[in-house]
Amino acid sequence: MIIICKRGATDEQIAHIEEAIRSWGLKPHTSRGVERAIIGIIGPEDVVREKPLEAFPGVESVTPVLKPYKLASYEFTQKRTVVDVRGVKIGDAQKVVLMAGPCSVESREQILEIARIVKKAGASVLRGGAFKPRTSPYTFQGLGKKGLELLAEARKATGLPVITELMDTKDTEVVEEYTDIIQIGARNMQNFSLLKEVGRCKKPVMLKRGLAATIKDVLLSAEYILNEGNMNVMLCERGIRTFETYTRNTLDLSAVPALKKESHLPVIVDPTHGAGHHDLIPAMALAAVASGADGIMVEVHNNPESALSDGEQSLLPEKFKALVAQMRAVAAAIGKQI
């Protein structure tokens, strides 16, 4: 249920409504716009329906939220969420944020060199895996805490905020300590214990769409995080599993406008995992910018031939630099900038 407050509703009136909602065993979520406030009510619909909400001073109207993902739905806030990460604003209608870096943190020299390269080319966020979810248990699994420490060193050297993946609830505290954005990978999109855990964190979360997840599925997974109190959530389209075997996955760019229609949360596209081949990534990245994505995540490696993971889908620095120039042109054509 959504309460639309009157223009000029006082802080006292809004606080009185919030207090009443809590007294009923429900949760209020208030979003303040330029002209009026909107109060969302989270809880059983049958309890909400029985309450005389329109009788409260300052209430203009009451509207039910019909979507099963209440907090994630656009109608709940009726404005876009902008996630601020160390001054980098993700979800700003005028900006496309670039996240770039290696699949895995391999060494101090490697991550520092790549961090400097991607920053100079135009990236605003450094990506890098410290804990790696690999298909085979015999392949490189990441440096763990050492990798997190190296990411923090790269952040200090370049000023770039960092994003890295959290795979297990037991690692939540250490990952939250070192990173600026917690990534939940595709294979963990419906790991509900992990989603609740990051929902209680203070760091922003980027939730990747699962390999066979629908739009509804990913929004309901985001709901788990939002329901725990963490409203700084981003969604990521990274390709879904289809019958096609030429590409690693099938990058579903229709998900971008669909998610932005349904939800207020920023939408990131990862063409690297969608295509799986370095020569296909630039075209998919450009299409992702044109589709309205709030951010693009790309894997970049200074020596893909010796990469410990995903070398075949990593861009060389000069290729990334050229791609950024092209993405800037596409962004400008739709009234955005990088």
Residue 33 burial (10 A CB sphere; 0-12, 13-18, 19+): exposed
Look at residue 47 in the predicted model and tell me its pLDDT. Answer: 81
pTM of the predicted model as reported, rounded to 2 decimal places: 0.89
Count of C-beta atoms within a 10 Å radius of residue 51: 16
Q: Which residues pair with 62 in a beta bridge?
A: 3
Q: So what's the pLDDT on residue 197?
A: 97
Q: Mind listing the domains of the chain with CATH numbers?
A: 2-64 (3.30.70.1140), 83-333 (3.20.20.70)
What confidence score (pLDDT) does residue 49 get? Answer: 80
The CA-atom distances, in angstroms, between 14 and each of 11, 41, 65, 196 are 5, 13, 20, 28
Residue at 52: amino acid letter: P
Counting every residue, how long is the chain?
338
Give pLDDT tens digits along the chain (338 positions): 889 999 889 999 999 999 999 999 988 988 887 778 889 888 877 788 888 899 999 999 998 887 889 899 998 888 899 999 999 999 999 999 999 999 999 999 999 999 999 999 999 999 999 987 666 776 777 789 999 999 999 999 999 999 999 999 999 999 999 999 999 999 999 999 999 999 999 999 999 999 999 999 999 999 999 999 899 999 999 999 999 999 999 999 999 999 999 999 999 999 999 999 999 999 999 999 999 999 999 999 999 888 888 788 999 999 999 999 999 999 999 999 99
CA distance 289 to 285: 6
**pLDDT value for 134:** 62
pLDDT at residue 135, as a whole number: 66
